[in-house]
Each structure stands twice: as structure tokens, then as C-alpha cells.
């Protein structure tokens, strides 16, 4: 039964991540919390990071094969503080109770929903720009911190940053997002791999390494591959305004479920 549940979650993750252009953690984390309430919150976050790492790596490979060239001057300055923020976030996560980790995740989802409602797209610019170094350092650290504490890949913070501050064309944002999500999720995942698992409940215990379970990670990832093209197909047939409404509604429902069941 666990295998079927995880495959279905993978299917949903594939559709939603490719439809909205996000890593999928916004769905993976609350669904795992709801389906397996006995599962340690740190393991849920660790599994989410594992799926994001695999998904982002796969997507980055596809972007590379498609010929998209990334500007090193944009992503390289963000990497050191993303790594530092990810380590800080994972350390904080070990100090916070399961209930508050769920509430923090729900709060982040609500803030993302609010941001989506209020964000106005700037006029398309043909020239990319970079904010000053201080802003880049703060953004990188915040992305890593959010990744480590919640299990989100940081794409929800990076997307509006690239759009508004970097004046980046929307079609290039997913490529930068996925590359930096590899950095953030990998850095945070290292800490979760090294954190001992002390709970008695586990799904597929033979695959439990630290606060990660690689059976859960791989099953969800494989399921997501099969449905990612469906998400792309739906994306091409949905207006931006309708997609925005669906995204906000989805995040609000998931956040409310976490709040009322934590």
C-alpha cells in the first residue's frame, strides 16, 4: 500500500512541478505529513530534498541538452551563501519540534500564495542585470535557510527574485532555478544524511539513511517522470491568470490542512 501511495504522490508531483515550474516540495511535504503522521518531520524534509535534488538534476540536464546557456556572473555569487544558509537551516530544523516545523512550512506556503497574488510582472527587458553584492548575499542565504528548515528547494524565492531584481526573461528562470536548487538541496541533504534516525516508525526501514529514506525518494522521483509531460501539456493550455488562481488555491488548501492537523 505504501508503494502505491508513493507512486501516486510521484504522479501528482510530476504534474504539479512541471505545470507550475516548482520543485514539487510544496506537494510532497504536506502529503507525506498527512499520509504518514507517525513519520519524523526531519525525515519528511530529508525525503523532499532528495526528490528535489533528483528532479532538479534531471531538469538541468534537459536544459543543458536544449542549448540554454547560463550566465556565471548571475548564479556563481549566490552559491556560497546558499550553501551557508542550507547548513544553518538544517541545524535550526533539528532544534524545532515537529509541530512547529509543520506550522513554519504552512506559513511559508501562505506567504508564497500571498506573494503570487501581489506580484506584478515587470515589462520584458532584453538586458539582464545583477543587484548589488549585499542583496545577492542576503538572497542566497535566505534561499538556503528556507531549504534547510522546510524542505522547499528555494525556487519559490528565486523565481520572483530573478524576475524583478535581475530583470530576467521568464523562459530562462526555470533553468537558473533548477541549477541553484541542486546546490541548496544537496547542501541541506548532506546534513540530513549525517543526522541519526532515532524514531521507531519507518517506511522501508532498510533504505533509511540518517534522516532520509531513499526508497521514498526514488519511488516519488520515478513516478514524477511519467507525468511531467502531462504538466507541460496542461501548462500550454492554461492562461496565466487561471494558473495563478489554481496555484494560490492549491497552496492555501495545503497550508490550511497542515495548520488544522498539526
Instruction: Say which range, 3-7, 167-171, 208-212, has the weakest mean pLDDT.
Output: 167-171
Q: How confident is the model at residue 26 (pLDDT cuts 50, 70, 90)?
A: confident
What is the percent of the chain where pLDDT is above 90?
Answer: 37
Q: Residue 162 pLDDT > 60, yes or no? A: yes
Q: How far apart are CA 169 and CA 88, in angstroms?
A: 31
**Predicted pLDDT of residue 238:** 83
Per-residue confidence (pLDDT) for residue 125, from 0 to 100: 53
Q: How confident is the model at residue 235 (pLDDT cuts 50, 70, 90)?
A: confident
Averaged over 216-228, what is the pLDDT? 93
Look at 161 and 27; give whichever has higher pLDDT: 27
Looking at residue 220, its pLDDT comes to 95
Residue 144: its pLDDT value, please? 92
75 vs 62, 78, 82, 91, 173, CA distance in Å? 18, 5, 10, 25, 11
Is 80 exceeded by the pLDDT of residue 121?
no
Q: Is pLDDT at 120 greater than 90 in this prediction?
A: no
Stretch 10-21: mean pLDDT:
84
pLDDT at residue 130 in the model:
62
Average pLDDT score over residue span 122-136: 62
What contacts 81, CB < 8 A, 6 or more positions away? 136, 137, 138, 139, 140, 141, 144
Residues 199-211, mean pLDDT to the nearest whole number: 86
* Terminal Cα distance for the chain, rounded: 24
Give this prediction's pTM: 0.86
Mean pLDDT over each residue of the chain, to the nearest integer: 85
pLDDT at 124 over 70: no
CA 238 to chain centre: 22
Pure H helices in the chain: 2-20, 25-35, 41-66, 72-75, 79-95, 98-118, 133-150, 155-164, 173-194, 214-236, 240-260
pLDDT band at 187 (very low <50, low <70, confident <90, very high): very high
Mean pLDDT (whole number) for 101-105:
91
Give the DSSP letter of residue 21.
T
Amino acid at each position: 500500500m505504501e508503494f502505491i501511495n508513493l507512486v501516486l504522490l510521484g504522479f501528482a508531483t510530476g504534474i504539479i512541478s512541471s505545470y507550475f515550474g516548482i520543485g514539487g516540495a510544496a506537494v510532497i511535504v504536506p502529503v507525506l505529513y498527512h499520509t504518514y503522521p507517525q513519520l519524523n518531520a526531519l525525515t519528511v524534509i530529508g525525503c523532499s530534498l532528495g526528490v528535489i535534488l533528483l528532479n532538479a538534476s534531471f531538469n538541468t540536464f534537459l536544459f543543458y541538452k536544449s542549448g540554454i546557456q547560463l550566465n556565471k556572473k548571475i548564479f556563481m555569487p549566490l552559491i556560497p551563501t546558499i550553501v551557508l544558509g542550507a547548513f544553518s537551516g538544517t541545524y535550526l530544523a533539528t532544534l524545532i519540534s515537529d509541530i512547529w516545523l509543520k506550522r513554519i512550512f504552512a506559513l511559508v506556503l501562505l506567504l508564497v500564495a500571498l506573494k503570487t497574488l501581489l506580484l506584478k510582472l515587470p515589462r520584458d527587458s532584453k538586458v539582464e542585470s545583477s543587484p548589488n553584492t549585499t542583496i545577492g548575499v542576503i538572497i542566497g542565504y535566505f534561499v538556503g535557510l528556507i531549504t534547510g528548515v522546510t524542505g522547499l528547494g528555494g525556487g519559490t524565492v528565486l523565481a520572483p527574485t530573478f524576475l524583478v531584481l535581475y530583470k530576467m526573461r521568464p523562459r530562462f528562470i526555470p533553468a537558473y532555478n533548477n541549477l541553484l536548487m541542486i546546490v541548496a538541496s544537496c547542501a541541506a541533504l548532506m546534513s540530513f544524511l549525517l543526522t541519526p534516525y532515532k524514531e521507531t516508525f519507518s517506511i522501508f526501514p532498510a533504505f533509511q539513511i540518517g534522516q532520509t529514506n531513499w526508497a521514498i525518494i526514488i519511488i516519488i522521483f520515478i513516478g514524477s517522470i511519467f507525468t511531467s509531460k502531462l504538466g507541460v501539456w496542461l501548462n500550454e493550455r492554461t492562461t496565466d491568470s487561471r494558473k495563478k488562481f489554481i496555484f494560490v488555491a492549491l497552496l492555501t488548501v495545503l497550508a490550511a490542512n497542515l495548520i488544522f492537523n498539526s
